[in-house]
Amino acid sequence: MALETTIAELNEQHCALEAEIEEELARPFLDSLKVSELKREKLRIKEEIARLTASTEAA
pLDDT in tens, 4-56: 999 999 999 999 999 999 999 999 999 999 999 999 999 999 999 999 999 88
The pLDDT of residue 56:
83
User: Residue 30 carries which DSSP code?
Assistant: -
Q: With contact defined as beta carbons under 8 Å apart, do 42 and 13 qualify?
A: no
Which pLDDT does position 11 carry in this prediction? 97
pLDDT of residue 55: 86
* 1 CB-contact burial (10 Å; exposed 0-12 / middle 13-18 / buried 19+): exposed
pTM for the model stands at: 0.88
Taking the C-alpha atoms of residue 37 and residue 7, their distance in angstroms, rounded to an integer, is 21
Q: What is the pLDDT of residues 38-51, one digit of tens each?
A: 999 999 999 999 99
Distance of CA 21 to CAs 1, 12, 29, 41, Å?
Answer: 30, 14, 13, 11
